[in-house]
Homo-oligomer: A and B are copies of this chain.
């Protein structure tokens, strides 16, 4: 018997019918002999509708009240799900973040989990019942106030509970079949990844893959929680995320046909033996580029620029400094950043112009970032050459480059990003052999 934490996003519980379908799946997992804890997001568009209501009554709603408002969404979905499961003859009880013991700090809107004390969840399992827990929410220990965890909050709730309960696996149900070698909307021949390490998944998530929240993967890595990203629309295995992608899958895989779960016997041998250089190609359209033109090429200037930008609360991603043109003694410095941080960075830099004496600032939101992710990439020196070659052959210009142990990212024009992703995906032989069916339509929070 395994202890399974299952997380269902908003698109999996968007109406009464889908709630009943999910309930059936949970009841089957329970009847198969597992202890089942379910984390659930708000139904479909509930959160957006509540945010819209808030904006109608207040231009700048206090975050504490916003958190109370938004947590109503999970309250609705979790109680409906418990009802639906109970009506199938399986006892289920729902718990708020507070009742489930998700203790957070007091930073409303993006609280961090400081402790998980799932006493009532454990009691519910011990009674042979299913425990449903509201995702995305917690409570402060000192004031008993409701908090929300911010983006990817429900995924994080699930992994945190799995860690707190020492669960065998944390299953993240979504509306896609798993993590793909590229976004199937751009690359129709993209393949589902069967196994991936936390580190690769972190790079994929940080580089724009949206199926798993970065924070949830970080939490999973820290506490060694095996994560299984899978579709709530099929019984097929999805993508296993763990410390070593090539160990056997975790014992519990509640939705799989009996006998196949927990073994690798059903996998083609070549998949297991294949050289694991490349996991996939991620892309990101959400960044912009700022270029500081005509910066005096003297020591400390670049440091001063990035000190000021960081001080304005902006997260810088990639940086490029041109070689100084000897005849002028001036250089250009470019960096990429989240598009939304653009105004803050531009305003901070403008205030610096007199002090540093650069010529001008350029803001460019028409960029795209492609990232090739794969463990062991560094030990295969041909990877970057192959990447640049593929882009050159496709006629795509590279504007910036950055690398990590297991990732190479390049910035291109936004309108050539899709072509770039397809070219690289093909060059690294990631394309599926046949036109295997792919479901992909974005994820809940």
Which A residues are within 8 Å of any B CB, using their own CB? 16, 19-20, 23, 50, 53-54, 56-62, 64-66, 68-69, 71-73, 75-76, 78-84, 86-87, 93-94, 96, 99, 144-145
Contacts and interface: CB of A to CB of B under 8 A. Distances in A.
Most buried by B among A60, A61, A73: A61
Contact of A69 (B71, B80, B145): B80
Q: How many copies does the complex hold?
A: 2
Given A60-B87, A62-B83, A69-B83, 5 more contacts: A53-B80, A57-B80, A58-B84, A59-B87, A68-B78
30 contacts: A16-B56, A16-B57, A19-B57, A20-B57, A23-B57, A53-B76, A53-B80, A54-B79, A54-B83, A57-B80, A57-B83, A58-B83, A58-B86, A59-B87, A62-B82, A62-B83, A65-B80, A65-B82, A65-B83, A65-B86, A65-B93, A68-B79, A68-B82, A68-B96, A69-B79, A69-B80, A72-B72, A72-B73, A72-B79, A75-B75
Please name the 8 residue pairs, one residue from A and one from B, whose CB atoms are nearest each other, closest first: A16-B56, A69-B79, A58-B83, A58-B87, A57-B84, A68-B79, A61-B83, A72-B75
A65 B94 CA distance: 7
A56 B86 CA distance: 13
Contact of A72 (B66, B76, B145): B76
A96 to B, nearest CB: 8
A128 to B, nearest CB: 16
A68 B60 CA distance: 28
Given A79-B69, A144-B99, A87 B57 contact: yes
B62 A86 contact: yes
Contacts of A83: 54, 57-58, 61-62, 65-66, 69
Most buried by B among A59, A64, A80, A83: A83
A22 to B, nearest CB: 10
A306 B139 CA distance: 52
Contacts of A60: 87
Contacts of A64: 93
A51 to B, nearest CB: 11
A133 to B, nearest CB: 12
Contacts of A58: 83-84, 86-87
Contacts of A62: 82-83, 86
A248 to B, nearest CB: 37
Contacts of A96: 68
Contacts of A56: 16
A67 B438 CA distance: 40
A330 to B, nearest CB: 49
Contacts of A54: 79-80, 83
A160 B144 CA distance: 22
A108 to B, nearest CB: 12
Nearest to A91: B62
Contacts of A84: 57-58
A99 B96 CA distance: 14
Contacts of A71: 75
A127 to B, nearest CB: 13
B53 A66 contact: no
A60 B60 CA distance: 41
Contacts of A19: 57
Contacts of A57: 16, 19-20, 23, 80-81, 83-84, 87
A76 B61 CA distance: 13
A64 B81 CA distance: 13
A351 to B, nearest CB: 31
Nearest to A84: B57
B76 A50 contact: yes
A144 to B, nearest CB: 6
B99 A16 contact: no
